[in-house]
Amino acid sequence: MNAIAVVDDNWSLGIDGKLLVHLPGDLRYFKEKTLGKTIIIGRRTFESMSCKLLPGRETVILSKNIDCKPGCLVFHSVEEVLDYVKSKPEDEVFIAGGENIYRAFFPYYKKIFITRLYATFTADRFFPNVGEMQSSFMVSNESELMEENGIQYRFIEYMRKI
């Protein structure tokens, strides 16, 4: 199982149900990594997407408060989701938000794909600071530094140490 997220210098994810910043390069990266795969999100993340499914991906929603929407699967516990995805190759499942969903599945991550923004934003949602977890995760790949809309960023892949 993988996680994919965009974070700033404080490992902030977003505020008021929105991403910190809009970066076309990050959106392309997200699409490249998740197209044809299964993404697992929470209800609030789904609602922040105007309850629209991303094309070319199987969407699984983990929520206690949502009924099934055509085209997506809804599960009500982490265990139910884990049972559903156990037959899928681990590199084809991505946790994609929000904060509570990232934290609930954290023990199961093999890889974490981070778009690291070299800036600080006001936020109310955060991702665990993987950069401080050298005993559990190591950087396995790092892109060159890029810049869009005045924001410098890079893609960093972390792999769980075995």
CATH code, domain with 15: 3.40.430.10
Residue 122 lies in a domain: yes
Are 51 and 69 contacting, i.e. CB atoms less than 8 angstroms apart? yes
pLDDT of res. 49: 87
Q: Does residue 107 fall inside a structural domain?
A: no
Q: Which residue range is the domain that position 48 belongs to?
A: 2-98+116-139
Residue 72 lies in a domain: yes
Residue 137 is predicted with a pLDDT of 96
Q: Is the pLDDT of residue 67 over 80?
A: no
Q: Does residue 31 lie in a domain region?
A: yes
State both tokens at 72. Answer: 């997506």
For residue 52, is pLDDT > 90? no
Is residue 16 one of the residues assigned to a domain? yes
Sequential DSSP letters for the chain: -EEEEEE-TT-EEEETTEES---HHHHHHHHHHHTTSEEEEEHHHHHHTTT-PPTTSEEEEE-SS----TTEEEESSHHHHHHHHTTS-GGGEEE---HHHHHHHGGG-SEEEEEEESS----SEE---GGG-TTTEEEEEEPPPEEETTEEEEEEEEEE--
In the predicted model, is pLDDT for residue 8 greater than 80?
A: yes
Give the residue, 94 or 67, on which the prediction is more confident: 94
Q: Compute CA distances 141 → 15, 46, 113, 138, 157, whole Å.
A: 28, 29, 9, 9, 5
Q: What is the pTM of this model?
A: 0.94
Say if CB 33 and CB 115 are below 8 A apart.
no
Q: Is residue 28 part of a domain?
A: yes
Residue 105 in any domain: the answer is no
Q: What's the rounded mean pLDDT across residues 33-44?
A: 95
Q: How far apart are CA 138 and CA 100, in angstroms?
A: 23
Structural domains counted in the chain: 1
Position 47 pLDDT exceeds 80: yes
103 belongs to a structural domain: no
